[in-house]
Amino acid sequence: MPHSKRRIALPAMTPGTGRSIAVHRFGRAGARPKAYLQAAIHANELPGAMALHHLMPLLAAADKGGRIKGEIVAVPTVNPIGLSQLAGSNHLGRYDFLGRDNFNRNWLDLSGAVAERVGARLGRDTGDNVAMIRKAALAALAAMRPVNELQTLRVEAMKLSVDADIALDLHCDLEALLHLFISRQDWPGPARALAADIGAAATLYNDPFPEALTFSGVNGALWARLARRFPAANIPQACLSGTIEYRGQHDVNHALGAADARNLYRFLVRRGIIAGRAGKLPRLKADATPIGGMDVGYCPKPGMLVYHLPKGSRVRKGDAVCEVIDPGDARGPKARTQMLSRTDGILFSRKPDGRLAWPGAVAYRIAGPKVLAHRVGMSGLDD
């Protein structure tokens, strides 16, 4: 079946306006395996949209040649609400203006609704369970009557993703190496091939699954939550769901976009969604580490942020990563507050120099192998 494009209309929030989401489908609807890829739910994060810009022509050519065995749904900019957030020559795009929600939180945990619909019928047969759960999840979404634009966006995006075998949410950071957030359920398993194929310099897993209701969190955790709720039934981890952070916000160019598209394509071949030979798995750049081992540098006070280390640096516990300078303090070096790493690991994410710091603002993230006492109980992704 040829490549098709449709638009999902969102309800107008103010008279005279109306937004929609463009959805591309490759392969045959209902064919397996199914992959769902979306970008820019944080609408100011466009490297993923660039990867899909380069991937879609490859998929269209494969489709034309009859090489797509499963189904691939691609949504290059899933959040037209965030895309429209222009304010004073700045594009925002991370938080909803109306309810102040982070766009990548408060997605729908469907495990309760699925349990109500089919819980009593889940049994020993893995295939039957997967089919029943997917059908029930779609029925639960179909029964929802979202009123506003953002809730409609969430329900509609999940109708596209919740029955997928692979759901990838493409984001980026401010200044970062390519990294990946996954669930422990998928590691090493299918997430290891994903990390190797996309060239992830750091992979962080939630253990056993993300508690935060991020998009990739709810799609993957549906299975884990149901498996926990119905221990006697055979419920597999039927969806590999991950958040790919495609470096920094300004890392949008044709060379990176084309390379990222080729890597995603190879992964889709490796998973049997597209016919062909994926070839040897690229060398894994870094073993996965627990989210609980991720040191997040929260600024202790307001000021100017200046870094000592570039992204990608290997750091030791106690190393100074950056400093917050109080511009109103005349004492020179004494006006500088150092922020020290609390783990050995890789500095995979930071901000650009010269950003304004405020108490609690995230200045950096370091992936370390050992769970840190101060991180236990933290869900992982910080706003």
Q: Which residues contact Zn ion (rule: CB under 5 A)?
A: 42, 45, 171
Q: Between residues 59 and 202, which has the closer beta carbon with respect to Zn ion? A: 202
Please state the closest distance from residue 42 (CB atom) to Zn ion, in A.
3
Q: Between residues 42 and 270, which has the closer beta carbon with respect to Zn ion? A: 42
Please state the closest distance from residue 114 (CB atom) to Zn ion, in A.
27
Rounded distance between C-alpha atoms, residue 122 and residue 258, angstroms:
43
Please state the closest distance from residue 245 (CB atom) to Zn ion, in A.
7
Q: Between residues 31 and 174, which has the closer beta carbon with respect to Zn ion? A: 174
Please state the closest distance from residue 171 (CB atom) to Zn ion, in A.
3
Q: Between residues 251 and 319, which has the closer beta carbon with respect to Zn ion? A: 251
Q: Between residues 24 and 42, which has the closer beta carbon with respect to Zn ion? A: 42
Please state the closest distance from residue 217 (CB atom) to Zn ion, in A.
13
Q: Between residues 183 and 216, which has the closer beta carbon with respect to Zn ion? A: 216
| C-beta separation of 214 from 243 below 8 A | yes
Please state the closest distance from residue 173 (CB atom) to Zn ion, in A.
8
Please state the closest distance from residue 160 (CB atom) to Zn ion, in A.
19
Q: Between residues 24 and 247, which has the closer beta carbon with respect to Zn ion? A: 247
